[in-house]
Chain A
Amino acid sequence: MDTETLIIWICGYIAFSGLMVAPLWVIFRRAGHAAALSLLFLLPVAGPLIALYLLAFRPWSTPHNLPRQDA
């Protein structure tokens, strides 16, 4: 892999991450977490998994996000 290809890949990854961070910002906020945690997605390789882990296992605790409990 030459330098030019590497740069193309890096630029592509940055563009992809940038496009993913914006909706993740909304998702984190709706889940009651700090929206800035979505920036974890910018970390290569481990970042998306860490962000997903936080979303999956930290309690969604804001009052407007109380789970619906059907009677």
Chain B
Amino acid sequence: MELVLEIGIRVLLAAYIGIGGWLTMRVLQLAGLRWWWAILLWAPAGCWLVPGAELAGLLAAPIPVILTWAFAYAEWPALIDRSRIGRRSGITPEAPQLSERARAHTFFPGMDDDEANSPPPPPRPSRDLPSGALEQTIPHKRQPVDPDNPPILRTPNSQRPPAAAPARVSHRSNPTPQTPASEAGPSAPPNGAGPADRENWMLSGFDDEGRVLRYQVRADDIRACDDGYVVGRNPQVANLVISDDSVSRNHACLRLKGLRLLVEDLGSANGTWIDGRALSPHRAFEVAPGASIEFGGVKLTLTHA
């Protein structure tokens, strides 16, 4: 009777370990890690299946603890872009462009193609960044953002947001026309943006080769994205695609709180910078018009559209 009870217990334990190991494998695969780490994780428990190996199982109990800690803080290849860590490479030859998903939302009624195709480029953002522009120190611990009181980044030039150029993106044209800087030349953004335009945003600037980059982001598009308006290099997941090697596949996301724009770095390899200050990942910060935002090596100026 005692033998039957012992065998029954071991069978139940084997089932328990099997189910647990299978679930662990699935979790590891979701994170992009090798599934066989689950074997190591459950091996100590497996020792209890072997008569006389109970002590070994007890001594090996720290192994799953250590592995779980390692898993918690390791990079998860399936979820994090690691391809650009440690290097800031140059601009890719292809043009930066909006994804199909974003392009479908970038038609603005009342705008003709001439208007859309003759973009006055914004002033080239200065490399001389104001220092000490932050009102608060950015902590490096991921914290949930209080939607009613997001942290604020303000710059000296953000008190009076400059009026932005009219919308330059149409449904038929390339939403990010490229013009050599020497031909286009910087120009001051026009005044007179209407109330409706104040909801929309323009990210504009130059790449390292002098090409003009312009990305128009409509407030409705941002609001339509429950999980945030993703900026990144991967056209399959990003709403705003920047084809630059220094930009991670899922680099940052934009959110709206009322008419205020929040920027959150999504753990990108090369970071997101506002006026030369790096953002803590996974924490949303309000950014004011006139501020410069750097997604990796791509520096853009935020204005109202």
Whether chains A and B associate is yes
Q: A19-B65, A52-B23, A64-B250 are in contact. Are A30 and B76 (CB under 8 A)?
A: yes
Whether B237 pairs with A66 at a CB distance below 8 angstroms is yes
Q: What are the residues of chain B within 8 A of A60 when measuring CB–CB?
A: 30, 79
Closest beta carbon of chain B to A70's beta carbon, Å: 9
Q: What are the residues of chain A within 8 A of B236 when measuring CB–CB?
A: 69, 71
Q: What are the residues of chain A within 8 A of B65 when measuring CB–CB?
A: 16, 19-20, 23
Q: What are the residues of chain B within 8 A of A69 when measuring CB–CB?
A: 234, 236-237, 249
Residue from A16, A20, A68, A69 with most neighbouring chain B CB atoms (10 Å): A68
Whether B68 pairs with A23 at a CB distance below 8 angstroms is yes
Whether B234 pairs with A53 at a CB distance below 8 angstroms is no
Closest beta carbon of chain B to A23's beta carbon, Å: 4
Output the nearest chain B residue to A41 by Cβ-Cβ distance.
B68
Cα–Cα distance between A41 and B264 once the two chains are bound (Å): 31
Output the nearest chain B residue to A25 by Cβ-Cβ distance.
B72
Residue from B228, B235, B250 with most neighbouring chain A CB atoms (10 Å): B250
Q: A23-B72, A27-B72, A49-B19 are in contact. Are A68 and B27 (CB under 8 A)?
A: no
Cα–Cα distance between A29 and B141 once the two chains are bound (Å): 13
Q: B267 at interface (Cβ–Cβ under 8 A)? A: yes
Q: What are the residues of chain A within 8 A of B266 when measuring CB–CB?
A: 63-64
Whether B79 pairs with A67 at a CB distance below 8 angstroms is yes
Whether A20 pairs with B250 at a CB distance below 8 angstroms is no
Whether A66 pairs with B27 at a CB distance below 8 angstroms is no
Within 8 A of A (CB), among B34-62: 61
Given contacts A52-B27, A56-B24, A63-B230, 20 further A-B contacts (CB under 8 A): A23-B69, A23-B73, A24-B68, A27-B71, A52-B20, A53-B23, A55-B27, A56-B23, A56-B26, A56-B27, A57-B26, A64-B79, A64-B250, A64-B253, A64-B264, A64-B266, A64-B281, A68-B78, A68-B80, A68-B249
Chain B residues with a Cβ under 8 A of chain A:
16, 19-20, 23-24, 26-27, 30, 32, 61, 64-65, 68-69, 71-73, 76-81, 142, 227-228, 230, 234-237, 249-250, 253, 264, 266-267, 281-282
Q: Can you list 8 A-B pairs, Cβ within 8 angstroms, ordered by A?
A: A19-B65, A20-B65, A23-B71, A49-B19, A52-B27, A63-B228, A64-B79, A68-B249
